[in-house]
Amino acid sequence: MASKITNRFDYQIYTTNKVNNLRYYCLSENINVPSVTSILRSTGSRPNSKQTKKVTYPMEIGDMMHQYLQQYLKGEGNMTINSSQASLAESLGKIVIENLIKDLDEIWGSEVSVHYKDEYAGTIDLIGLLDNKVCIIDYKSSYRTKTISELEDYFLQCAAYVIAHDWQYDTNIDSIMIFQVTRSGEYEMNLIDGDELIIYKEKWLKRLTTFYDKISNVENYT
C-alpha cells in the first residue's frame, strides 16, 4: 500500500518526557517545552482519582484507533496490535476513514509534532485540505458523543496547534475539527472556523499566559 500523505512540509517528531506529572517535548538537547494537553490540565479543573481511573479503558481504545489510522495513512497495512480490543479499535478507525479521511482533498501529515517558539508543543492527529480549506483534525473515541461545551478543551487544543503550525510553517490555517466516534459506531463532526476559531485561539493564549504565570509564582515562592 502506498502512503496517502503528500509530505507538504518536513514535519518533525519530537521525543517526550515527564516532569512533575506534566509531559514535555524535547525540541533540542537543551530546550524542553510543555505539551498543550499538560497546559490545559494544569490550568483547568483537576480530575479526581475516580474520574482518572474511569477513562483508562477509553484511552486504551483511542490509542489503538490512532495507531490503526496512522498505519492506514502511511500505507503500512493492517494493525499489528496483539490485544482483545484491537478489532474494536479497527472498526472505529474504519468509520473515521469512510466518513472523513476519504473526503479529504489532500493529507499533509498524520501524528506530526508542532511547536510555538519555546513555549509549547503538541502532536496533530491529522492535517490536510477539507473542502479546499486547511484543517487540523483531532480524533476522539468515547462511549457517547460529547456536547459542544464538553469539547471546549479539545477545541482549545486544536487552536493551539493552529497557532503553532502557522508560526512554524508560515501557514494560515482556516479550520479545526473534532471527529467523535462512539463504541456503538455513531460519529459526529464538530467544525470550527472563521471568527469562532479566532475566539478559541484567543482563549488558548489566555490559558497559556495563566500557565506561565502559575509557574512564575511557584518559582518566586520557592
**Rounded CA separation 203/80 (Å):** 39
pLDDT on residue 1: 54
Return the CATH number of 15-55+104-221, one of 3.30.1120, 3.90.320, 3.30.2310, 3.40.50. Answer: 3.90.320
pLDDT at 45: 65
**Which helix (H) or strand (E) segment is 191 a member of?**
strand 187-193
Burial of 56 from C-beta contacts in 10 A (0-12 / 13-18 / 19+): exposed
Q: What is the pLDDT of residues 70-95, one digit of tens each?
A: 999 988 866 666 667 888 999 999 99
pLDDT tens per residue across span 197-213: 999 999 999 999 999 99
- Domain boundaries along the sequence of the chain: 15-55+104-221
Non-local CB neighbours of 30 within 8 Å, separated by 6+ positions: none
Per-residue model confidence as pLDDT tens digits over 39-48: 999 998 654 3
